[in-house]
Structure 1
Amino acid sequence: MNINEFTREGFLKKRGGSYKSWKKRWCSLHENKLFYYEKQEHSNMKNHIPKGFIYLEDCSISVKSLEKNQFEICVRDKKRKYLVEANSNDEMMEWILGIFIHRDQYYFAQIGAMNSNQDEDYRRNSYNLPQIFNIEQFVTFEVQKIEKTKKKPFRCFVINKEDGTIGIGKGNMKKRSKTVTKAITKSGNTFGSLQDAFQFYQKFNPENLIRFERAVSDKTKIRLMWDVKGHFNDYIFTSGVSRERFINEITQIKVQCLGKKELALLYEPIKIKLFIGTWNIGSAAPPDDLSDWIPNNQDIDIFAIATQECDYSPRQGYSNTQDDWTVTLSMHLGTKYTLIAKQSLMGIKLHVFIKEIYIKHVHCIQTETKATGVAGVVGNKGACGVAFQLHDSSFCFVGSHLAAREERIAIRAENYRDIIGGLHFGIPGVDITEQFQYLFWFGDLNYRCEYPFDVGVELGMKKDYQKLLEKDQLKREMSQGKVFQGFSEGKIDFPPSYRYTRGEVNIFSDQKRRAPSYCDRILWRCLPNFDVEQLSYQPHLSFTTSDHKPVSSTFTLEIPPLLTHDSIDKNAFCVINFSVLFGKNFRTLKSCLDEKEKQKQKSIRIDSQITFEASFLDSNPTTELVLNNPNPIFNKIPALFPFITSKNYLENHHIILIVKDKRGQIIGQAPVSLKGSCDKNPIQFLAIIRKKGFLLGEISGSVHITWPSLNLIRF
């Protein structure tokens, strides 16, 4: 394809100058630049120098404003942003699509000859992302290294396509033309070509790269993990597009080194089996053999194990309980499993293990704690959380210990809300319940069965579990929408997990005359169009060291393949379009918490706007602000431009609609699934707005993803 066949010319208003005024300029797209001239006739004069140009390599593109009939395009490169304004929405979209073509298709034109010589297996292994600017056999990126939170000067990442090595050089590359005129090595020497300079670069082998971790909060940042001991380097790219292209190149190199079994993990859906376990250990040392609770037959892919009151005296040779318990679990599971995350909050502990074969495919591992004890700072009550991604599927595990005693129902609900707001994972400001595809919440939730002691014991001895559950506080609170909205729990047809006499087998304790209860629970929540299958849910009655029994559950789920066989050339860019969005019954979190505010709900002033958030978007545009309306209608919806354009990828992800007030404070969030949005017709959706577990309204509309055909664009 000759990129010069797709030139686009016309007048645009460009913002600039000493007074930041809007000036009419004749603009022209050529190769990977947007030139602008003072007059139209200047563009046809061979010796006339343009007023300037915008370099489109790795740029991000967004719609700046939709208010007051302004059709502004924001083009941002690594140094600054440029604002240009079209005369109409159609003209604005034509310019945006033209910029995308000249940004992405220029790379295809540069590498077309090289790709034509690659074999079919190599082309199939290409990760479905735009390709890179190539210089001979080299691919270059400009990055900044981060050391101790400080940004270092720009470095040049260079990938040698011939042998797959990565070189890192000092200084930024001069690549404003098809050939490199200057390359600076770490020693400061200047060479006439990159090929001469590359031999002096510090080199790494991608085969030694265990995994990469995309930063969720910063779309330009990546962490490269070099070994299982946790050695890593953090880098910042010039844009999110550049970061994804680097990942594409590294993935292609690593794929060629994999065997058939490892390739199957990338190209085929994976069925994952999870084990979730929770136990209030009761400050007593657990038995040496955990087999009756935690299986070690290697049938499980992921183990997530939470313990509460895990503060027993450590065995000889261990300085603290955390180390003792970690080694106990590791020895029990064996060498086929690797501990990927652990977290501790006083007696609350959470460990996550994964089967060794998946360790290279896990990334973005995060851990957090939230204390909800005395004054909200003491860690005897609270939660530990672990989040990560396996391929492109996101998981979150929360092990919690909520307030004790039968009468403290409201305090437990407050603990629940504080934990949601206090575990800062993933996208900043977005609740964990609204952004992870799979969320598991388990632990000693301390909800009781409201029976007198004697009645509860009698029902337990008779195995009348359904009668016990009629007065289960958690079931009632969930049905009333007060806690764990949108969560699921398996069928309970087993004895209560609390309260037993220590050292005795299945004898309920009368020490404090507390009725037998299902304190230890395992719940889960999935984003729309995701689901899990629960295989088991049970207590383990043989354990007698604590007044609680361990509880476990196993699940299966299927995650999509990481790589696809989609044709990159056909999917160079795409557009995500939302229809008019209709809000319904918007309210604030304050109105849910304050009884006086509830009475004033009808007169509450609701000013709202919607920001679109996803890890694959070039930018996060916002709708117009709708004033004083609890049922707003958002008519002017900006187009969204993802820098990952694979149909399979997009259909397995969500866009989060973040509702904000006029000051930018978050009112709530609503995830919208893109499943089916790539089909011929738009899909309708109804999304629930939540904040800290409260339902704060609804948003309805439709969404459609399209890949505009080049011959439909008027050039």
Structure 2
Amino acid sequence: MSYFDGLGENEWWQNPVVLSDFHKCEQGSLWNARNFKEALLSIGLESPADLTELERRKRWYRANGWKSAEMIQDYTTGGNKWNSAGSSDPVLCEEWMEVHKLVPAEEQSRRKRWLDHQLSDEQLQVRRAWLLQRSQDARRIHFSELGDLLAQLNDGVHPSDDEIQAIEDAIRADQKYHSIFEGITRQDVMKAMKATRFYIGATKEERMRSEQEALEALQKEEMDRLEEEAAHLAQEAFEELEAAGEEYVPFDEAADAEEEEYLKALEEEENAKMNPNEDDLEMAWELHKEEEEEEITENSEDGHREAMKKRQRTLEEAFAKEEYGGEMGDEDTDAVKGELVDDVKAALEDLVKDDGWKEDETSRWNAKQEEVEDSMAAANDFVLPLREVANPQYLKGYFTLMKYTPSVNLISTSQKRIWVVDHFTQCFYNLAKNNRIRKEHAAKKLIQLEKNVLDNTRLRMMFFDASHSYDVQFVNANERERFYETASAIRSVIRVFAPDLVGENDVKSRVIIDGTGANALSVICPDASSKPVKRQLVGECRINATRHLTEPISVWCGTFNIGGHRPPKRKEDLQRWMPRGKYEIYAIALQEASFRTHDNEWTDYVQDYLGEDYLPIASMFIWDIILLVMASKRSLLKITNIEGSTRGTVHKSACGNKGGIIISMQYLETSLCFCTCHLTARNEHFAMRNSMLEEIIGNIRLGILDADVTAQFDHVFFFGDFNYRCDVDVSKAETFIKSNNYEELLAHDQLIKQQNSAGILHGFLEPVIKFAPTYRLNVTSSEYVLKSSPSYCDRVLYKSMLDSWIKCTGYSSDPDLILSEHRPVSATFIVRCVRPVLSCFMKSQRPVPEFVFDDITVKEYTGGAIRKPTLCICARFAPNTEPILSRETNTATPIWKKETIPVLTSVTQVQEYLETRHILLVILEGSERREVKQGRGTGVITLKGRVIGKEDTHTEFETDIVFRGKSIGKLSGSFMWRALKHAKEE
């Protein structure tokens, strides 16, 4: 009946047959079953559903009991019993009965005749077995065909009778139980050829290709013959039906497809016994691969430092020479990690078809969010004469750089290029040897401008009109920074921090730099060989500038355990949980997304829901866990350094369905990290959940690979199904929920307790919970399943570096989105992201700071003795430094002396920018010779309040050492900054 088409598995008990079972006897095995499967097995009396569920069914029956099979029969025969059963509206009852009444006797007879013509289950099995056997037979050849097959395998040379006889004898000896009429398989021929050494002349690849082609040709010929035979049989059957006066049943494509899928599965199962699929060996192969990579790393660890020094020397030598490469027609772009896919590029290109200088700053935020935005005033046009701009040569900057190559041996002057950033023509171009433009890109075609995190001399550019990215390397970090600054200033979609360019009474301006007429200017600047040359600057250029160092963006993070269900049919059901179009970035985490038709089903669904103004930044999954990050188109042009990784837990009771995903990125100059996880269930397994969190955090490596993933990004958002429960009686929990006393309920929350006692997720905060527990509820209602205490399994936490600005603007659940036993949770944030700064155009040239450290000491370390303690100092505003080895060995309290710690020299003079930055102290352990160094913890030093007005002033610091998301000690010391001596004029 069509009534059943709209019923899911969770409503199976509303079936009229089941209702009849209850109508006859309330203790029926169908009515009392826990689920549809147990109802079919009639074990509802042995394993009944819980009382809460049965009471819910009875309440439904009192209102809808008239839907039973007896009432349908009564309505069909003209009775009145159906009209008095239940409490529903009689008009609605009659409409429903009219749709579901029994069909007439004629229709029943016609359906019975059709059913009689269908094959029984036994006949279907016989047919499938016959088809499978015919399929297997198609792979066999007769001995009479052996000579032709061997000739094909032997490059057309027909074998002698003795050679054929030798192979026949080998086959018969190996397969004694086969008769000559059964034919021989491919494996039989291969074994015989190997035993008789028949085929030797060709290579292994040629042999395999020839063998496969020959066998496929024979198989195709046999299958064609079978198809002809099947067509003939079908025609005979059709003629017999017509002669008997029976109705022809049309071909059922769906049934045939199901049968074909079944046969294919059987065939693959048989083949897998002889030739296991490589997917079946994936785990073992991955482990082997990791061991192999570890061995390679071990073998190369000793020479890593020397290799880096050699590379730097080679680069400096190549940059010092006057020659450079770049022939006309050479292609400099390469496919590299982090590129945007073609579909995203095409969708973004519409934004830059016009000049783009009038920014779309329409706020989508609510009133609370607007309170924190102090720069939404419209930008005014401000004309600035070229002669009043500091360092005007950067408005048409010539930069010598190198096409990046990972091999030191390939570094040469042929890889050198001259790139020009020309603000007057709004173009990027590079020059050929004859100083002609060999490649040109309009500034508005620049999609991504990305600074490499691991190598502070590398930079990646991606343009709409280039096939791939330009991955380039500069002679030093300072040159890269100057290129990045002027390249950022030329982009119309970016507003840069340049207070000296903004109008006197303005917060932000569209600066028009006038270099026409009398304002034209000649400047002296170095050419490719560092010789001074005179260049004329003429024309007009524009820069979007502001006095505000940060730009606020809105972030939405949501998590939902969908319990194996597909997305809601009505997309509007998501509106309360995920408001459409209100935020720049959406990060969506899903758990138990097992019933998806393809890997991108949820990505396509969310894309369709949010609309064409949003595009996916990254989408990753492991097992049934999905993490999807979407961004508005205009925001996507400011996002770089996109990375992601997954980790499945290896605990034997959870292997294969639990794990975590982390995706990181950079918005302008601020790094963001989105993490999700699905941890093991059950109230008593909180220790296992702690261990899984450590495993996920400790084994995912992003950004600075040796640093803890929770300690190196400006803002980390961690959300998912943590599965931590509330240790409280069910009755007490129910009382707390009914009185909205969530604070008392949270006093028993395992996650909060484990953060305090076991130290997990160190530094992470959670907004105040003002909503009811999100687990465990009925799938069809808002009532809790009281088998265990209702709990807050689904959470959103966040962690920010000290003095980084973030504000949570909402934390809620959607109790009306009923899709599984969980309810979705979401949190919203405002994050202030640091803009690019223009040090090169500052009128007041401040001293460039260099940071000098005193001794750095480890205290209260609980991570065990470190055999060879090594310290890496990392900062995104400074060149790379070499690791420092402590004089102490095999100790838990190493000290790195002042004289061994390198000076950290800033690449910018902008002190306001430096006060937003942080320095990472990464502790590594290296034991014996050739052993891989391993991360043993990460400390973070904030520079807030330690730069402006603090020149030549010693500042003490003490920071937590974070390892696998837990604090295991302290790093303490002091530092000061001083002006860089003998610095060249910028």
The two structures have a TM-score, normalised by structure 1, of 0.69
2:717 match: secondary structure: strand
What is the match of residue 175 of structure 2? Answer: none
In the alignment, structure 1 residue 654 sits paired with structure 2 residue 913: no
Match of 1:284, SS state, is coil
- Which deviates further from its counterpart, 629-638 or 468-477? 629-638
- Residue 625 of structure 1, CA deviation: 1.4
Distance 1:533 1:701 in 2: 31
Higher relative contact order (CA 8 A, sep 6+): 1
For 2:847 and 2:551, the matched residues in 1 are separated by: 27
Instruction: Provide the secondary structure at the position in 2 that maps to 1:167.
Output: strand
Deviates more, 1:475-484 or 1:436-445: 475-484
Deviations 1:519-564 (A, max 9, x none): 0001011111124222221111001111000001112232233235
Residue 480 (structure 2) aligned to one of 240, 243, 248: 243
Report what 2:803 is aligned to: 529
Partner residue in 1 for 2:937: 668
Change beyond 3 A, Cα 1:267–1:627: same
- After TM superposition, the structure 1 = structure 2 runs for residues 564-603 of structure 1, keeping only pairs within 5 Å, are 564=838, 567=842, 570-571=845-846, 573-588=848-863, 591=864
1:643 paired with 2:907, answer: yes
Pick aligned residue for 2:401 from 130, 142, 151: 142
Cα shift readout 1:279-338 (whole Å, capped 9, x = no counterpart)? 001111232221021112x33222111111123344xxxxx1x42211221222223333
**Cα offsets for 1:233-271 (capped at 9, x unmatched):** 333344433332332332243359988499367955222
Task: Give the AA of the match of 1:509.
Answer: V
Question: Which residue number in structure 1 is paired with residue 448 of structure 2?
Answer: 211
Are positions 1:165 and 2:427 aligned together?
A: yes
Q: Which position in structure 2 is the counterpart of 1:614?
A: 875
2:616 and 2:628 in contact (8 A); partners too: yes
Tell me which residue corresponds to 2:963: 691
| Stretch deviating more after TM superposition (631-640 or 410-419) | 631-640
Distance 1:160 1:657, change over 3 A: closer
Residue 499 (str. 1) matches residue 776 (str. 2)? yes
User: Hey, what's the Cα distance between the residues in 1 that align with 2:769 and 2:466?
Assistant: 41
- Relative distance call for 1:377 and 1:567 in structure 2 (3 A) is farther
Any conservation in 2 of the 1:371–1:377 contact (CA below 8 Å)? Answer: no
SS at match of 2:480: helix
> Which of 395, 398, 408 is the equivalent residue of 2:685?
408
- Contact persistence 1:585–1:697 (CA under 8 A): yes
CA distance in 1, matches of 2:582, 2:780: 31
Corresponding residue of 1:275? 556
**How many Å apart are 1:147 and its aligned residue?**
11
Q: Which amino acid aligns with 1:508?
A: Y
Is 1:431 the counterpart of 2:431 in the alignment?
no
Distance 1:79 1:264 in 2: 35
Q: Which amino acid aligns with 2:924?
A: K
Give the residue type in structure 2 aligned to 1:312: F
Shift of 1:638: 2.7
Partner amino acid for 1:309? Answer: E
2:582 to 295, 299, 314: 299
Partner of 1:79, secondary structure, is helix
Q: CA deviation at 1:207?
A: 2.1
Tell me how far apart the structure 1 counterparts of residues 649 and 815 of structure 2 sit (CA, whole Å). Answer: 30
Partner Cα separation in structure 2 for residue 569 and residue 685 of structure 1: 30
Question: What's the counterpart of residue 37 of structure 1?
Answer: none
Q: Distance in 1 between matches of 2:471 and 2:654?
A: 32
Paired residues of 2:678 and 2:721 also in contact (CA < 8 A): yes
d(CA) in 1 for partners of 2:920, 2:388: 31
The whole-number CA distance in structure 1 between the counterparts of 2:790 and 2:799 is 27
Matches within 5 A, 1:437-516: 437-504=714-781, 506-510=782-786, 513-516=787-790
Tell me the distance in 1 between the aligned counterparts of 2:457 and 2:837. Answer: 21
Partner of 1:253: 490
Q: Residues 452 and 459 of structure 2 are in contact (CA less than 8 Å); yes or no, is this contact kept in structure 1?
A: yes
Match of residue 835 from structure 2 = 561
Which ranges in structure 2 are unaligned for 5 or more consecutive residues? 1-308, 319-382, 496-508, 512-542, 928-932
Q: Residue 397 of structure 1 aligns with which residue?
A: 674
Letter of the 2:857 counterpart:
F
CA-to-aligned-CA distance 1:58-79 (integer Å, 9 cap, x gap)? xxxxxxxxxxxxxxx9995543
The separation in 2 between residues aligned to 1:376 and 1:234, in whole angstroms, is 45
For residues 42-99 of structure 1, the C-alpha deviation after alignment (integer angstroms, 9 at most, x for no partner) is xxxxxxxxxxxxxxxxxxxxxxxxxxxxxxx9995543699xxxxxxxxxxxxxxxxx
In structure 2, the residue matched to 1:47 is none
2:315 alignment counterpart? 79
Matched residue pairs, number? 551
**Structure 1 CA distance for aligned equivalents of residues 476 and 888 of structure 2:** 34
TM-score of the pair, normalised by structure 2? 0.51
Q: Is the 8 A contact 1:220 1:236 kept in 2?
A: yes
Note closer, same or farther for the CA distance 1:416–1:257 as it changes in structure 2 (3 Å cut).
closer
Contact 2:587 2:629 (C-alpha < 8 Å) held by counterparts: yes
Amino acid across the alignment from 1:582 = T
* 2:578 partner amino acid: I
Q: 1:163 to 1:534 in 2, by over 3 A?
A: closer
Q: Is the 8 A contact 1:587 1:606 kept in 2?
A: no
Corresponding letter in the other structure for 1:293? W
Q: CA 1:80 to 1:263, structure 2 compared with 1: closer, same or farther past 3 Å? A: closer
Name the Cα RMSD after superposition. 3.7
Question: What is the match of residue 42 of structure 1?
Answer: none
The 1:252–1:454 alpha-carbon spacing in structure 2 relative to 1, beyond 3 Å, is: closer
Cα shift readout 1:145-195 (whole Å, capped 9, x = no counterpart):
5699997951413216453533345xxxxxxxxxxxxx63xxxxxx4xx3x
Q: Secondary structure at the match of 2:695?
A: helix
Higher percent of residues as helix: 2
Secondary structure (helix, strand or coil) at the match of 1:331 reads: helix
1:613 maps to a residue whose letter is C
Note if contact 1:578-1:702 (Cα within 8 Å) is conserved in structure 2: yes
Whether the aligned pair in 2 keeps the contact of 1:574 and 1:642 (CA below 8 Å) is yes
Q: Quote the residue 1:317 is aligned against.
A: none
Which digits, 9 at most, give the CA deviation of each residue in 1:638-665, with x for residues without a partner? 3212334432232211111112345444
CA separation in 2, counterparts of 1:469 and 1:256?
Answer: 45
Corresponding residue to 2:888 among 627, 637, 649: 627
Once the two structures are superposed, residues 429-471 of structure 1 have per-residue CA deviations (whole angstroms, 9 ceiling, x without a partner) of 1111110010000000000112344443444344332232222
Q: Which letter does structure 1 place at the counterpart of 2:560?
A: W
Q: Larger deviation: 153-162 or 522-531?
A: 153-162
Take 2:408 and 2:817, find their aligned partners in 1: how far apart are those partners?
47
* Counterparts of 1:421 and 1:121, CA distance in 2: 54
Partner amino acid, structure 1, of 2:785: S
SS in 1 for 2:851: strand
Shifted more, 449-458 versus 526-535: the winner is 449-458
